[in-house]
Amino acid sequence: MSINNNTIQNSIHELESHLFHDNIFNENESHPLLLLHSQLQEIDIEPQLTTIDEKRQIISLLNYFQINYLYNFLDKYFSNIPLSILKALFDIIRFQMNINMNIDQSVTDYYFDLSLTYLTGNSTIDYLNSKKETNTNIDELFLNLFSSIGSRSVYIKTNLSYSICVSHKNIPTFFQLNSSTEHLLQSFIVYLNNLFFNNCQQYQSHNSILKWLLTMTNIYGFVPYFVKTNYPNTVLQWMMIKRDQAEHICINLWFFIINLLHNLARHRMGGKALNKLKAIDILKQWKDQYISELLLKQNNENDKDILIAYYLVYAILLEPKELKKENISNIQTVLDYILERTVQAFNSSELCFGPYNICEYLNGLAKFVVNDKFLIYIMSRDNIFNLFIEKFLLFNNIYQSTDLNTIICSSLYTIFWSISFQAEYHAKLKSIENFIQYVEQISKLESIDEHAVMMKRAAKGILFNLDLIEMDVQPIEENINVIGNNQIKLMISYAHKDATFCQKLVTSLQERFQGEIWVDFNKLSAPYEDDWEEIAKAITQCNVILMIVTENYCSSKSCRREVIHADKRNKRMIPIYLGKDYKPEDWFEIRVGSAAWVRFGDKRNHDEVMEILFKLINAQDKIKQNNNDNTFIQKLQTNAFIANNNNQTTQIPLSIDSNPVETVTSSDSIPLSSNSNTLNNVTPTNPIEQWTCEEVQQWLRLPPSVLQLSSGQALSVYMNLLLHEDAQYDEYEHRMRHHGVTREQFANLISSYLCIHSNESILTELPDQWTQKEIKFWFQQNHLSNYLLNILNLMNGSQLITYAELLINSPSRIDNEFIRLQNQIENDLFHLDEYARFLSGLKKLVKQSKL
């Protein structure tokens, strides 16, 4: 007899049709059980007659038959069996399977296939879609059992190797999207919708189904299956349920839902689908309804878990430019939780803590540190910097061993790239020899692996920020004759999200501009930002850089790197702002400051702004040609901003909002006298914070090519950054010295600022005898803002000491005072890091007063 799957399947179907009929046990030669027996016996005797795949299909058919047999048996005798006994029976079966998988993890495939056999069966699909009139309790017991077994088998698989979950290359094959599994995923949506929207209380398997969905979407390679079956839209629909209609949805269910959203979001396809559906807006609305009270309670680990889950999703989906607007006070508690979990996960042998692996925590931190406030707060935590260094060195040794280790290493590189933008960490990072060696090795890595490319890009960014990359390019001055004396070489720096405007700008420039225009989409192959050497070379060899400055630009690490590179090479920069209200971030103001700029989207039309831009480009080039032979030390002059005896000037429009012309000198310069070691500053009479751009430049007595600051506030920010010795060393050695500024001049510049800032006040040894003037100087010494000083309005040292003693001796007062001060200081200008400095200073004052 020839055996194939069809004959066995026919025998099973015939046997099922005889189940529980009175004649089921009547013996005859054509009995389906006897036929099935002989068919399987033949396979057992001659196994070579059937293939492995055929045998697997037979096992699947037999499994389903056995399950169906048990189902029909229980269904027939259900009325005679107490429900509590039935539940205990199913739990015993589940426990037995779980124990078996824990003992012998090789059986996980078998149990997963067994569960999938039941879940994809027609009877189950009909029940999930509410098309089956049957005993609900029996269906729920079976559904709960097999969805639980399926999720447990996958959980054990991923625990054996978490790389299964994170690999972008190796997608597991034990679950694939086909017609039967697609029907299953769609049917789960119908079942859960009935629970969430219709509050169907008879549906008791929602927890096990949601766990199944979580374990499956936790595998990166499976996420596209769920995107194709509309899960992004479904999950967001659940999150849009109003609070008064969601009393049946407990906090544990929300935890499942928000984590399902997190699993979808971490895949590019899922993130794209969610952003298309405006997931961030829905997420924020959900937070306002459900999360706010958790921020106040924080009673248990479950509350912490859901807060962490929310903000991990938030960080993945939110654009960097939006993340930079976040207030540290809104997220400070959650950052503490994530850091705490990160430390605990690193200390775990499985690299897990709570519901997440270490790579999930690190990925969240890598997103958060694009915000400088968040980064500073994270680095202020005890031993966090040392922990990151320790793990960075460890995982650089083993990053190629597993996909998980590669991803952990990639996240650490991203975090250190952000850290490297902070000048106070430069000396510390450079002093760690192994750190620099690993970064240099990765910067030369040749690989097309997605994470290796990210690591290489971050490594180059770190080396560049630490001034450890030497670009082998010739300065533009040596190539002027090749271009022609009357032609200018432009380079356009922009964020790729602003590519549409950039292309329009290039088209407008090409209509009238005769010189060379370097822009990446005309010069490089995609992805443009990966070819940093060519971009750096273009910056070095151009005459003028046009920067399209938007939120996208200021939030881009690559664009920030380009600005720094241009600034260090004394390049002439023209910011191009989009929109009438946009103001750049502080780091851009400090680097580019008072450079002449234009703005599109304001009261002037496109052609008018282009006319001003052409004048700016040409005027900048004239200044460059006139000053081409001057050395930097000659440019450092006492009359840098007034006309010389020849009274020659060039007209330059500074912005389209102001008078279109402003007089700027382009004449020969008078160098500093040979015995002059100071910069003879002219000091305005009003407070530093109120100084205009012109007053700042007048006081600095430095040409804009050396230092450009747009206001007194920018000057204060710049000088406060230089209050640390490491920052002073870095600024002088890597910038000022190359512009011809002597050590004495640089020291006197800082000294003059401190002298003005303190009004030459000298603090007495007894704080309770201080005057208002001395209190103000104490605030400045501790880097405390004038906003805080003005709010407190302390008249003398005695009041200051009394205030300090009342505050620091009461923990509740410390908390309440922070909230009070934060509410009184407008525009989000008072943060926890300043409050910590304030308290620390007060404690020292009280101690000093008692002594």
With a cut of 60, say whether residue 643 has pLDDT above it: no
With a cut of 60, say whether residue 672 has pLDDT above it: no
What's the confidence (pLDDT) of residue 343? 94
What's the confidence (pLDDT) of residue 477? 36
- CA distance linking residue 43 with residue 41, whole number of Å: 5
Strand pairing class (544-549; 572-578): parallel
Q: What is the pLDDT of residues 240-281, one digit of tens each?
A: 998 888 878 888 888 899 999 999 999 999 999 999 999 999
What's the confidence (pLDDT) of residue 189? 95
* Highest mean pLDDT, choosing among 508-512, 729-733, 820-824: 508-512
Q: What is the pLDDT of residues 33-69, one digit of tens each?
A: 677 777 777 777 777 777 877 777 777 777 767 676 6
- CA distance linking residue 537 with residue 523, whole number of Å: 12
Tokens representing 172 are 């597991």
- CA distance linking residue 780 with residue 761, whole number of Å: 11
Q: Which residues have CB under 8 Å from 276's CB, separation 6+?
A: none
Cis peptide before 527 (omega within 30 of 0): yes
Tokens representing 574 are 């023209």
With a cut of 60, say whether residue 680 has pLDDT above it: no
What's the confidence (pLDDT) of residue 594? 56
Is residue 767 within 8 Å of 797, Cβ to Cβ? yes
Q: pLDDT band for position 415 (50/70/90)?
A: very high
Contacts of 627-635 spanning 24+ positions with Cβ under 8 A: 627/666, 627/669, 628/477, 628/480, 630/668, 630/669, 631/740, 632/570, 632/706, 632/738, 632/739, 632/740, 633/671, 633/672, 633/740, 634/669, 634/671, 634/740, 635/669, 635/703, 635/705, 635/706, 635/739, 635/740
Mean pLDDT of the chain: 77
Side chain identity at residue 549, one-letter code: V
Placement of tokens 């971050």 in the chain: 458
**CA dist list (Å): 296 to 214, 249, 300, 338:** 28, 20, 12, 17
Side chain identity at residue 746, one-letter code: F
How many C-beta atoms surround the C-beta of residue 24 within 10 A? 12
Encode burial over 157-172: b for 16+ CB neighbours within 10 A, e otherwise.
bbeeebbbbbbeeeee
Is residue 670 within 8 Å of 638, Cβ to Cβ? yes
With a cut of 90, say whether residue 323 has pLDDT above it: no
What's the confidence (pLDDT) of residue 235? 95
Contacts of 344-352 spanning 24+ positions with Cβ under 8 A: 346/387, 346/391, 350/159, 350/162, 351/162, 351/404, 351/408, 352/162
Report the range of poorest mean pLDDT among 325-334, 572-581, 714-723, 731-740. 731-740
Higher pLDDT, 260 or 372: 260
- CA distance linking residue 362 with residue 378, whole number of Å: 12
Q: What is the pLDDT of residues 500-557, one digit of tens each?
A: 999 999 999 988 888 889 998 887 766 555 567 788 888 888 889 999 999 888 888 8
With a cut of 90, say whether residue 814 has pLDDT above it: no
Which of these, 245, 228, 238, lies nearest to 178 by C-alpha position?
228
Which of these, 115, 649, 757, 163, lies nearest to 406 by C-alpha position?
163
SS (H, E, C) 700-746: HCCCCCCCCCCCHHHHHHHHHHCCCHHHHHHHHHHHHHHHCCCHHHH
How many C-beta atoms surround the C-beta of residue 202 within 10 A? 10
With a cut of 60, say whether residue 96 has pLDDT above it: yes
With a cut of 50, say whether residue 650 has pLDDT above it: no
- CA distance linking residue 463 with residue 455, whole number of Å: 12
Query: What is the 8-class DSSP label of residue 672?
Result: P
| Mean pLDDT, rounded, for 325-333 | 80
Query: What is the 8-class DSSP label of residue 382?
Result: T
Cα dihedral: 363, 366, 367, 369 (round 10): 150
Q: Taking the alpha carbons of 423, 426, 428, 434 in that order, is the dihedral positive or negative?
A: positive
Query: What's the pTM value of the predicted model, to 2 decimals?
Result: 0.60
What's the confidence (pLDDT) of residue 723? 67
Nearest 5°: phi and psi at 676?
-90, 120
Report the range of poorest mean pLDDT among 92-101, 202-211, 731-740. 731-740
Encode burial over 737-767: b for 16+ CB neighbours within 10 A, e otherwise.
eebbbbeebbebbeebbeebbbeebebeeeb
How many C-beta atoms surround the C-beta of residue 803 within 10 A? 15
Strand pairing class (489-493; 356-357): unpaired
What's the confidence (pLDDT) of residue 91? 84
- CA distance linking residue 738 with residue 725, whole number of Å: 19
Encode burial over 324-345: b for 16+ CB neighbours within 10 A, e otherwise.
bebebeebeebbebbbbbbbeb
Q: pLDDT band for position 766 (50/70/90)?
A: confident
DSSP string of 624-664, one letter each residue: HHHTTT--HHHHSBTTTTS--TT--EEEE---SSS-S-EEE
Tokens representing 643 are 């006309």
DSSP string of 588-625, one letter each residue: HHHHHTT---EEESSSS-HHHHHHHHHHHHHHHHHHHH
Contacts of 11-18 spanning 24+ positions with Cβ under 8 A: 11/35, 11/36, 11/39, 12/36, 12/61, 12/62, 12/65, 15/65, 16/65, 16/68, 16/69
Burial of 23 (0-12, 13-18, 19+ CB in 10 A): exposed
With a cut of 70, say whether residue 705 has pLDDT above it: no
Q: Which residues have CB under 8 Å from 334's CB, separation 6+?
A: 307, 308, 311
Placement of tokens 């620099």 in the chain: 436
What's the confidence (pLDDT) of residue 175? 93
With a cut of 60, say whether residue 757 has pLDDT above it: no
Placement of tokens 């934060």 in the chain: 822
In the chain the domains, ranked by start, together with CATH numbers, are 489-618 (3.40.50.10140), 767-849 (no CATH)
Cα maximum dimension of the chain = 125
Strand pairing class (352-353; 356-357): antiparallel
**CA dist list (Å): 723 to 263, 313, 326, 716, 734:** 44, 38, 27, 11, 17
Tokens representing 354 are 């709570």
